Chains A and B, each alone.
Chain A
């Protein structure tokens, strides 16, 4: 295999793997949010990029999530389906990552 082909294969494989993992996790988050289970993150005291800064702001965020949950137009069945879909996405995403770990450990595949 010449060097250009090798690079193309590496680029293609990386793109495919990253796209699959990121899409699955993002889809999981999207479905989770649709199901009304919006992940609210604890306030981080040390962080630079997060907008939540104080406990009061975190409470406000949680309130907003609760309000959005109430205003959710989906039926209970649809919500359950979305939640199930979200979990399925997370499981698939985790399996993809575990497969990555399997690949870097030669002891596992001889």
Chain B
């Protein structure tokens, strides 16, 4: 196959992945402020999109080391080809869409790693994978990230309630936490932009270097940064409302003090880890924080059934996207026809998932308040008028 064509295909696919990454992760920053009413749903996704856009331009440090050494590369290692990157991206996109359809906040980075690892195993063999790095950079953080974020959020929630606690009947001013939520969730969105957009920049830069269009060891080009920033911002603006619903009320009922504590913990954990050169999944940190803050508020309940489903999604992400990446790589290795087949099957799956999602639409209208709408209709008129006489008769019958 013409090398230029495969490079173009990888770039297009990488941008599609970036888009799915954006809408998959809107919930990380914006589910709690939407749930507590700190921001209107549309305003929240717009703010998140703008901050993701800005965030993508702020830092490109991580972009150079996208595979982070998990797949051995370089002169003495195994060269990963654009065909394999293409196959890995298909695996990652399909898994991202499946988890979105199920409303599960799974890690986009794990989907990407899984897809690439699966493709590399089929294309090169198991020797392509550095198990030590895989354990220390992906598996261990996956286990520990929710635990760290959860305990931080638990403590922060306890603190927030303890400090603002007053005698019963006295106003505690906790509604004021909603103002703070606007800032804390924005910080999470900004952190997300600096982290996640770079993964796609890294993929595209890798492909350009592999194709000989860019000198090795150089950072991402300006047009790569711009297109990636736009793709992730557009994805964020589209909003993964299904996942927002899971994070905003599926795991626990979020109150403003709790939401603020959860977002601050998410932001602090992401910032601390990336500042100390340790990559934690934004999604797992955010979900862990929401559950931790639920445990920290007296009288609140965590829906463990849903939390279990979310955790299952995390465990499955790496192997599942790996299998999909491997399958796509198997086809891609046949040659141009295989790559064409990959593209066709990928498109069919994506269209099918979108078609399936239309059967029950979740949007900014009903992501959080579909049940509350019903409740509000009832609550608006506290003392309903007596029904007309003839209706009363009907009731009596």
- Which A residues form the contact surface with B (CB < 8 A)? 3, 6-7, 9-11, 13-15, 17-19, 21-23, 25-27, 29-30, 32-33, 38-41, 44, 46-50, 52-54, 61, 64-65, 68, 93-94, 97, 100-101, 103-107
30 sample A-B contacts, Cβ–Cβ < 8 Å, listed by A number? A3-B140, A6-B276, A7-B144, A9-B272, A10-B269, A10-B272, A18-B264, A18-B265, A18-B268, A21-B184, A21-B268, A22-B160, A26-B159, A26-B160, A30-B166, A38-B171, A39-B176, A39-B179, A46-B40, A47-B369, A48-B35, A48-B248, A48-B249, A48-B369, A49-B35, A49-B36, A97-B187, A100-B271, A104-B59, A106-B59
Provide the bound-state CA to CA distance between A9 and B37, in Å: 34
**Cross-interface CB contact of A105 among B58, B164, B280, B376, cutoff 8 Å:** B58
| Docked-complex contact B172 and A33, CB < 8 angstroms | yes
Chain B residues contacting A9 (CB-CB under 8 Å) are 272, 276
A30-B164 contact in complex given A14-B148, A23-B159, A25-B180, C-beta closer than 8 Å:
yes
Residue of A nearest to B175 (CB): A41
Residue of A nearest to B180 (CB): A25
| Docked-complex contact B175 and A7, CB < 8 angstroms | no
| Docked-complex contact B163 and A39, CB < 8 angstroms | no
- Which B residues form the contact surface with A (CB < 8 A)? 35-37, 40-41, 55, 58-59, 61, 136, 140, 144, 148-149, 151-153, 155-156, 159-160, 163-164, 166, 170-180, 183-184, 187, 190-191, 194, 248-249, 253-257, 260-261, 264-265, 267-269, 271-276, 278, 280, 368-369, 371-372, 376, 379-380
A47-B265 contact in complex given A17-B272, A97-B183, A103-B275, C-beta closer than 8 Å:
no
Per CB-CB distance, the 6 closest pairs between chain A and chain B, nearest first, are A47-B37, A44-B37, A39-B176, A26-B163, A41-B175, A17-B268
Chain A residues contacting B159 (CB-CB under 8 Å) are 19, 22-23, 26
Residue of B nearest to A57 (CB): B379
| Docked-complex contact B175 and A104, CB < 8 angstroms | no
Chain A residues contacting B255 (CB-CB under 8 Å) are 49
**Cross-interface CB contact of A47 among B151, B160, B190, B372, cutoff 8 Å:** B372
Within the complex, the shortest CB–CB distance from A92 to chain B, in Å, comes to 13
Within the complex, the shortest CB–CB distance from B62 to chain A, in Å, comes to 10
**Cross-interface CB contact of A26 among B140, B149, B164, B248, cutoff 8 Å:** B164
